[in-house]
Amino acid sequence: MRVLAAMSGGVDSAVAAARAVEAGHEVVGVHLALSRAGGTLRTGSRGCCTIEDAMDARRVADRLGIPFYVWDFSERFRDDVIDDFVSEYRAGRTPNPCMRCNERIKFAALLERAIELGFDAVATGHYASLVDGPGGLELHRASEEAKDQSYVLGVLTAEQLAHTYFPLGDTPSKDLVRAEAAERGFTVAQKPDSYDICFIPDGDTRGYLAEKVGAEPGDIVDRGGAVIGSHDGAHAFTVGQRKGLRLGVPAPDGKPRFVLEVRPVSNTVVVGPKEALAVRELAGSRYSWAGAAPEDPATPFACEVQIRAHGEPVPAIAHVEDGELVVVPDEPIVGVATGQTAVVYVGTRVLGQCTIDRAESAVPVAA
């Protein structure tokens, strides 16, 4: 099998490429340049896809004796990930740029080019498993749940899964991957994992959005619409936020209030009691199935829903109605924001996902 190994410069993708070579595949390594700022440097565990990462990936490829290339995907990344991130915040939603990167860059743009060049699959260092099921190839959680990355892969389609290869899916722990990298002589064996948003390496998301979206003063209101404070820019607030609200009117019960909603059209931030963060139903029209769809998606089916990469799965009932994937958790979920991704599981299998367009509070406005 001809395999294109996506090499980020980290330890996971390095070991994934090595295992693909050991399995006897014809492997070519590629690093994606996602920024036009060629001198971008890495700061500890912040950022990724930097010039240091490209050099780390090249050193691993040289040690493996495989061809290695750097492909410039910066324009596509800007259009499909960065611009989407900014526009979602401008619309008052909370996007997940890692989901968009997997959906539109690593498993769309990269996979499309790989197939055009005659490769059979793209290999990545994600911790997830592929299983042959009765309806075709299925995406499942990795063997080590603490490192499981199936959530961020929930956007993959059946066609994409057919050309995907996850060599680390059955690895019990990240420590074993690091030990294997050290045994192979990879200098990235103890390299810190990257975190935060890769195109905001200093971690100052609020400052980044203020520059991109602009900051315009507005009102903070309660659930009934009464003005109880002001803000310097609605983009700086996220659902569930408690600190930094600067409210001029105390709550009647004296308890803290939390951000419940951001309304960009009116430039207002809605706050309320913690109980109002509980969501009894969520839905999204931008949904997809990771492999075979349910036989009748309109018929409610039991599942589990997860709304964060490292969140706890919650038992739920889901179905498709009026063009939306509707999910009703058995118990309300706290702190759901529009723009987040809800990934639906059946057992360990990723069944599908949706970008959340609406989240209905379990607490009536009059409460």
For helices 83-90 and 205-213, give the axis angle rounded to 10 degrees.
80
Adjacent-strand bridge partners of 320: 325
Report angle CA 283, 150, 52 to the nearest 5 degrees: 120
- Two structure tokens written together for 260: 């419940």
Cβ-defined contacts of 145-148 (< 8 Å, 24+): 147/173, 147/174
- Two structure tokens written together for 127: 């911790």
For helices 11-22 and 51-64, give the axis angle rounded to 10 degrees.
20
The torsion angles phi and psi of 141, rounded to 5 degrees, stand at -60, 155
Element counts in the chain: helices (H) and strands (E) = 9, 20
Please give the single-letter amino acid code of residue 156: L
109, 123, 289, 324 from 74: Cα distances, Å:
11, 20, 28, 32
Q: Is 15 helix (H, G, I), strand (E, B) or coil?
A: helix
Percent helix, percent strand, percent coil in the chain, to nearest 5 = 25, 30, 45
Residues noted as catalytic: 101, 198
Dihedral sign for Cα atoms in the order 166, 19, 109, 32: positive
Q: Which among 255, 253, 261 is positioned nearest to 277, based on CA atoms?
A: 261
Q: Which among 239, 269, 270 is positioned nearest to 334, based on CA atoms?
A: 239
Sequence-ordered alpha helix ranges (H) in 40-155: 51-64, 74-77, 83-90, 97-101, 110-116
